Amino acid sequence: MARSATYRSLLLLCVLGSLICASSAQSTCNSQNFANRVFRACVDLPVLNAFLHWTYFPSNGTIDIAYRATPSVAGGWVAWAINPTGKRMSGSQAIVGYIDSGKVNVITTNVNSYQPSMKNESLSFTVSNLAGESSGNDIILFATLTLPSNSSTLNQVWQNGPMSGGTLAMHSTTGPNIQSMRTLDVLSGQSTSTGGVDSKTRRKNVHGVLNAVSWGILMPIGIIIARYMRMFPSADPAWFYLHVTCQASAYILGVAGWGTGMKLGSESPGVQQTVHRNIGITLFCLGTLQVFALFLRPKKDHKYRIYWNFYHHSVGYTIIILSIINIFKGLKILSAENKWKHTYIGILIALAAIAVVLEIITWIVVLRRRSRNSEKSHHGANGTNGYGVRSAV
pTM: 0.53
Domain count, the chain: 2
Beta carbons within 10 angstroms of residue 264's beta carbon: 17
Question: What is the C-alpha separation between 29 and 44, in angstroms, rounded?
Answer: 6
Write the single-letter amino acid at 392. A
Question: What is the C-alpha separation between 126 and 141, in angstroms, rounded?
Answer: 16
- Give 231's DSSP letter: T
Angle between helices 305-334 and 274-295 (to 10 degrees): 150
- Give 170's DSSP letter: P
Residues 280 and 313 in one domain: yes
CATH code at position 362: 1.20.120.1770
Residues 188 and 56 in one domain: yes
For residue 213, the surrounding DSSP H or E stretch is: helix 199-213
Residues 263 and 284 in one domain: yes
Residues 209 and 229 in one domain: yes
Pairing of strands 163-164, 93-100: unpaired
208 in Cβ contact with 336 (< 8 Å): yes
Question: What is the C-alpha separation between 68 and 65, in angstroms, rounded?
Answer: 10
Please indicate, yes or no, if residue 181 is contained in any of the structural domains: yes
Question: What is the C-alpha separation between 79 and 109, in angstroms, rounded?
Answer: 10
Q: Which long-range contacts (CB under 8 A, 24 or more apart) does 280-283 make?
A: 280/211, 280/326, 282/322, 283/215, 283/254, 283/258, 283/319, 283/322, 283/323, 283/326
- pLDDT tens for the chain, residues 1 to 393: 444 444 444 444 344 444 333 333 345 788 888 888 889 888 888 889 999 999 999 888 899 999 999 998 988 999 999 888 877 777 788 899 998 888 999 999 888 766 666 677 888 888 999 999 998 889 999 999 988 877 788 889 999 989 888 888 888 877 788 888 888 888 877 766 554 445 566 778 889 899 999 999 999 999 999 888 887 778 888 888 898 899 999 999 999 999 988 888 776 655 567 889 899 999 999 999 988 888 888 888 888 888 888 988 899 999 999 999 999 988 887 766 778 889 999 999 999 999 999 989 888 888 887 887 777 666 655 554 443 433 333
- Which residue, of 138, 167, 193, is where some domain finishes? 193
Question: What is the C-alpha separation between 250 and 218, in angstroms, rounded?
Answer: 5
Q: What angle do CA 66, 72, 75 make, to 5 degrees?
A: 85
Residues 35 and 49 in one domain: yes
251 in Cβ contact with 290 (< 8 Å): yes
- Which residue, of 169, 193, 217, is where some domain finishes? 193
Residues 249 and 311 in one domain: yes
Q: Which domain holds residue 178?
A: 29-193
Residues 164 and 204 in one domain: no
